[in-house]
Structure 1
Amino acid sequence: MPNRISRRSLLGAAGASAALAPTIASSQGANSQGAAMADNDKIGFAIVGLGKLSLGQLIPGLKVAKGAKLAAVVSGHPEKARRVAAENGLPADAVYGYDDYDRIAKDPRIDVVYIVLPNSMHAEHTIKAFKAGKHVLCEKPMATTTADAEAMIAAAKAAKRHLMIAYRCHYEPQNLDVMRRLRAKSMGKVRQINTTMGRQADLSDPSDVWRLDGKMSGGGALGDMGVYGVSAARYLLNEEPIAVQAWAQTDRADPRFKETEDLINWQFRFPSGVIANGSTSFAYAPTMAFEVICEQGRLDADPAAFYGGNRLTVIKGGQAQPPIPAPPSDQFAREMDWMADVVRGKAPMVSPGEEGLQDMRLMQAILESAAKDGATVKTDWGYKRAVDPAAVVDVPGKA
């Protein structure tokens, strides 16, 4: 296949750019502008899984984090793990395999375990980490089934440890800016949201092979890219959908889609009357964008969820203002610093396991509706976000 682009390369395609123009009030929390802590005072992270995200984003992010540090690596490839450890100044006994993973219980250097494995492995290694007495930061989607997600949440409660899901957009400056604009009703009420999240998957890329495997991924494009749109509609509005309709279109002759759906479109209905249209695909041009249409204008975030280079265009009175680049920041450092301060008791939990479970349930409802050719599925389960990111997470450079 000619277009060799993975989610990780898509998200990291654009570099970070200039500072955000509008003034945004900051709040106290893990990402406030302060000096980095002494190394001995930083919260130690064990990275479980040494794939593209870990090597390209997480370990570099820990090098610039203010209150978090790399303490150990866990991998099924011993030579690779030893090499990565040596490159990052870790001693030999900070290298773990999946066969001796339980040994982390006796390692006081490890406070948080960051799960960066194929989705089907999240629950097993999260629960093991809780049994070892560690806190957990887990990549999204948090699991492949709602039952596994519920088991992860129960394990966290039983261990009296924190479970955070890696919703980095909760801490990303541009997304926070849009959330705050919407809370302030700067362009009147929101009427409609459109999210488009997808790319071309490639069977020659090992990281895409498992994403196209129904059992390992749990949902193909929907779980990999669509989860960004499902989550975005919710955090942009700070509301939960009460019903969904969805449709799927998949070419089964395409070898990529033997076990998962390809193009999925859905429509959420919210209590306020807002309609949110979402789309995801593993067979269309790479895009990660959202549009918020209000009574008096429009907010276009394109890109909206890259690792860097996100841009916001404000259209009001029929006139588009110059695009606003997100301020330079390492999204992963911000996310891990936030988790570190949650562990310290200095920041509220913004992205708990319950957030991941809500998205799991909504994605399940999308697939259920699509299987019934757009039948309405009720989603008013009574869930309410515990903490609004717009109310507590700061933005770099804002006093």
Structure 2
Amino acid sequence: MTESREQTALPQPKPEQTGYAVIGLGKLTLEELLPAFAVGRASRLAAVVSGDPAEARAAALAYGLTEADAYSYDDFEKLGERDDVHAVYIVLPNSLHREYTERAAKIGKHVLCEKPLATSVEDAEAMVRACKDAGVFLMTAYRCQYTPHHWAARDAVQSGRLGQIKLMHSVNVQVEPNEGQWRLRRELAGGGSLPDVGLYCVNTVRFLLGEEPYEVSGTLYSTPGDERFREVEESVTWQMRFPSGVVAQCACSYGAATARSIDVFGTEGRLAIDPAFDYQNLRLTVQTGQDVTEVRVPPEDQFRLETDHFSRRIQEGCAPYTPGEEGLQDQKIMAAIYQSAHEGGRPVALERFEGRDVFRGAAPERS
């Protein structure tokens, strides 16, 4: 989504900072997460874990650590001996999320896990249970629930500024190249565009409304003969219905030129976030009557906001805003979308929740 950022040496650790071991040194880690730790206020990088020893050592040294702070997957449990490692950040293929969450819980480390939480409802439930049994926190890495732009949009939606919300529309599409991507292998990814880019639509719509859908319907499509989609789906379109009467229409794809947007339509106005899911340069506009206003907020590193929130909650001893239960709910919604698609688009009912933010912890700090 963005160009690589220049690596910066970490400042000296501070007593009030939570130490993390980052598991997995792929593109996201190298280009976004490690630079975010370099500017962390409540968070700091304490160790890295990779299947490539040379890569692990290089990453550790580039960010002010030592070679002793570089671990392999096999010696992961040695992190249990590190009092300065309070949490792990799992940035691995989806199918490995459960294994490493359970391994982290067993050695007493809190867990921040990239989305989707797992590849199945069963695995997500096991992850939530493992962390609860071990007395550690599990947080789903939903960065869009921590950005100023998304919070400004949520405020506009829930304040009544747009009147009664009637419709929502969200799209997240991109072209996924066939270059040995693990995301195109069902065993590793659990699905195609839906759990990868479509999940942003599911989760952010839920966040903006503060509601849970009670019914979904969906369809799948993959271009015949396209080798990329032998195992996973190319495109998904789906509808979610909410207790307040809102209907959300969403679409995701691995086969269309990049577009990432959310539109909200109310009786007295509308808003748009476009782009909505990028790491930088988000744009929020609100229209009431003939007046169109761009909501301008200072730019923030989304990953810093996310990790610093979890760090503060660990220090305070209370659950994060997007706990494992939040990720588990999305797994249930996605499973229902797939079920509907496999049954010809038949609507599938979900457990009905009338309250607000029923799976979230206390709201995050807002600067």
Structure 2 length as normaliser, TM-score? Answer: 0.94
Match of 2:8 in 1: none
Report how far residue 70 of structure 1 moved. Answer: 0.3
Match of 2:125 in 1: 150
SS in 1 for 2:153: helix
Match of 1:239 in 2: 211
Q: Which has the larger displacement, 375-384 or 169-178?
A: 375-384
The aligned amino acid for 1:270 is F
After TM superposition, list the pairs within 5 Å mapping 1:1-399 onto structure 2: 10=1, 12=2, 39-204=14-179, 206=180, 209-321=181-293, 323-345=294-316, 348-382=319-353, 385-386=357-358, 392-396=363-367
Report how far residue 293 of structure 1 moved. Answer: 0.3
Report how far residue 383 of structure 1 moved. Answer: 8.6
Q: Residues 314, 225 of structure 1: CA spacing in aligned structure 2 closer, same or farther, 3 A cutoff? A: same
State the distance in 2 between where 1:61 and 1:51 align.
15
Q: Which has the larger displacement, 307-316 or 346-355?
A: 346-355
Is contact 2:211–2:354 with CA below 8 Å preserved after alignment? no
State the distance in 2 between where 1:287 and 1:13 align.
17
Report how far residue 374 of structure 1 moved. Answer: 1.0
The aligned amino acid for 2:295 is I
The aligned amino acid for 1:55 is L
State the distance in 1 between where 2:51 and 2:324 align.
26
Is contact 2:214–2:353 with CA below 8 Å preserved after alignment? no
Gaps of 5+ in 2: 6-10
Report how far residue 326 of structure 1 moved. Answer: 3.8
Report how far residue 358 of structure 1 moved. Answer: 0.5
Q: Residues 383, 228 of structure 1: CA spacing in aligned structure 2 closer, same or farther, 3 A cutoff? A: farther
- Whose RCO is larger (CA < 8 A, sep 6+)? 1
State the distance in 1 between where 2:122 and 2:195 align.
16
Structural RMSD (CA): 2.0
The aligned amino acid for 1:56 is E
Structure 1 length as normaliser, TM-score? Answer: 0.87
Report how far residue 393 of structure 1 moved. Answer: 2.8
State the distance in 1 between where 2:174 and 2:319 align.
34
State the distance in 2 between where 1:293 and 1:383 align.
21
Report how far residue 382 of structure 1 moved. Answer: 4.2
Is contact 1:238–1:388 with CA below 8 Å preserved after alignment? no
Match of 1:30 in 2: none
Is contact 1:252–1:258 with CA below 8 Å preserved after alignment? no
State the distance in 2 between where 1:37 and 1:184 align.
42
Is contact 2:326–2:359 with CA below 8 Å preserved after alignment? no
State the distance in 1 between where 2:162 and 2:325 align.
31
Is contact 2:20–2:86 with CA below 8 Å preserved after alignment? yes
State the distance in 1 between where 2:4 and 2:78 align.
39
Is contact 1:338–1:347 with CA below 8 Å preserved after alignment? no
SS in 2 for 1:259: coil
State the distance in 2 between where 1:13 and 1:92 align.
27
State the distance in 1 between where 2:149 and 2:3 align.
17
Deviations 1:160-210 (A, max 9, x none): 000000000110110000111112111211101101011000012x5xx11
Report how far residue 309 of structure 1 moved. Answer: 0.3
Is contact 1:165–1:351 with CA below 8 Å preserved after alignment? yes
State the distance in 1 between where 2:96 and 2:224 align.
27
State the distance in 1 between where 2:122 and 2:354 align.
17
SS in 1 for 2:238: strand
Q: Residues 292, 141 of structure 1: CA spacing in aligned structure 2 closer, same or farther, 3 A cutoff? A: same
Report how far residue 286 of structure 1 moved. Answer: 0.6
Report how far residue 370 of structure 1 moved. Answer: 0.8
Identity between Structure 1 and Structure 2 (%):
39
Deviations 1:253-284 (A, max 9, x none): 11110011111100001111100011000001
The aligned amino acid for 1:290 is I
The aligned amino acid for 1:50 is L
State the distance in 1 between where 2:21 and 2:13 align.
19
